[in-house]
Amino acid sequence: MPPSPDDVLSRHPAPLVARLRAAGCVFAEEEAAELVAAASGPAHLAAMVDRRVTGEPLETVLGWARFCGLRVAVGPGVFVPRQRTALLVEQAVALLRSAPGTPVVVDLCCGSGAVGLAVAAALGPVELHAADVDPVAVRCARRNLEPAGGRVHQGDLYAALPAALRGRVDLLAVNAPYVPSAAVALMPPEARDAEPRAALDGGPDGTDLQRRVAADARSWLAPGGTLLVETSARQAPLTATAVRAGGLRAAVVRDEERDATVVLGTDPRSSVSGSSRSAVTHSVTDRNG
């Protein structure tokens, strides 16, 4: 009987960890443990290590990423959810926690669908839709969201969404690419080389997609609904300007510890639950500066 992955690591931990560290893996011990746990045998373990040391993200090697306490399926060619994006999820949950009825949530530029999945897991019943232009991302998002009752659509931004959603969306969550084009080359190799450039490159100032999203958001939001856009601290003023240009009230939420920034755009039209959503938005904004 061939040795188990645990036996491989227990007998020869140093070479495995040393190989990962030599390849630039900062948390080599932790990665080694994850790879061993996921391997079905020594040959599988060796193949996964080979993929990792050539620069493939650990998450796509494993087939999943940890995000907001969930295991989110990912694969080669799919944007790997970042831990900073948990701030966007937390804002979404806070805004909708006391909403009456079943809220309508759209995860736009969804990638793996991690944001929509985490929001639905935290809130309970939601009408969840997600969309992405990339067919590889759409296939991955369907793996994550369809078992949870979500619907995933393929197309360019709002063109992907069913027309029946127009004017009904309580929360529009968007993690569109926002890295300025010239800065993509400065990203870690496992991002710039392994993830699709279209999921990273936000145009000359990083806000090309954000401006397009903000320009049409109000027509898709329900009265009092909210647009949430992940951005960077440097680009937040540009993102907020785009949100205001779309006719929404803008506020910036910043978490220094996670280096996470979200711009909230609130529809100014009144709704039954609009006052409670606005109150949550302002209290969170004040707390985070």
pLDDT tens for each residue of 249-269: 999 999 999 999 999 999 998
Statement to judge: residues 100 and 225 lie in one domain: yes
Find out whether 221 and 171 touch, Cβ atoms under 8 Å.
Answer: no
What is the Cα–Cα distance from 190 to 192, expressed in whole angstroms?
A: 6
Residues 144-197 have pLDDT tens digits of 999 999 999 999 999 999 999 999 999 999 999 999 999 999 888 878 888 888
Statement to judge: residues 129 and 26 lie in one domain: no
Query: Which residues make Cβ contacts (< 8 Å) with residue 247, sequence separation at least 6?
Result: 218, 268
> Per DSSP, what are the bridge partners of residue 278?
none
Statement to judge: residues 19 and 118 lie in one domain: no
Statement to judge: residues 174 and 277 lie in one domain: yes
Q: How many helices (H) and strands (E) does the chain have?
A: 12, 9
Statement to judge: residues 42 and 87 lie in one domain: no
Statement to judge: residues 12 and 113 lie in one domain: no
In this model, does residue 1 exceed pLDDT 80? no
Statement to judge: residues 183 and 246 lie in one domain: yes
What is the Cα–Cα distance from 179 to 205, expressed in whole angstroms?
A: 8
Q: Is residue 30 part of a domain?
A: yes
Tokens of 165: 């959603």
Helix (H, G, I), strand (E, B) or coil at 182: helix
Q: How many domains are there within the chain?
A: 2
Q: Is residue 64 part of a domain?
A: no
Find out whether 218 and 275 touch, Cβ atoms under 8 Å.
Answer: no
Statement to judge: residues 35 and 144 lie in one domain: no
Statement to judge: residues 89 and 216 lie in one domain: yes
The C-alpha angle 237, 209, 156, rounded to 5 degrees, equals: 155
In this model, does residue 140 exceed pLDDT 90? yes
Residues 36-59 have pLDDT tens digits of 889 888 889 989 999 999 889 999
Q: What is the pLDDT of residue 73?
A: 97
Helix (H, G, I), strand (E, B) or coil at 200: coil
What is the Cα–Cα distance from 64 to 71, expressed in whole angstroms?
A: 6
Statement to judge: residues 87 and 50 lie in one domain: no
Find out whether 262 and 230 touch, Cβ atoms under 8 Å.
Answer: yes
Crossing angle for the helix pair 135-145 and 114-123, to the nearest 10 degrees: 20
Residues 100-110 have pLDDT tens digits of 889 999 999 99
Q: Is residue 45 part of a domain?
A: yes
Report residue 141: phi and psi, to 5°.
Answer: -60, -35
CATH number at residue 131: 3.40.50.150
| Structural domain ending residue among the three candidates 14, 34, 54 | 54
Q: Is residue 65 part of a domain?
A: no
169 exposed, middle or buried (CB, 10 Å; 0-12, 13-18, 19+)?
Answer: buried
Statement to judge: residues 159 and 37 lie in one domain: no
What is the Cα–Cα distance from 195 to 186, expressed in whole angstroms?
A: 14
Helix spans in 54-96 (H): 58-62, 86-96
What is the Cα–Cα distance from 277 to 98, expressed in whole angstroms?
A: 8
Q: Is residue 74 part of a domain?
A: no
Q: Is residue 282 part of a domain?
A: yes
Q: Is residue 186 part of a domain?
A: yes
> Mean pLDDT score of the chain, rounded to an integer?
88
Statement to judge: residues 49 and 94 lie in one domain: no
Domain of residue 41: give its range: 5-54
Q: Is residue 70 part of a domain?
A: no
Helix (H, G, I), strand (E, B) or coil at 50: helix
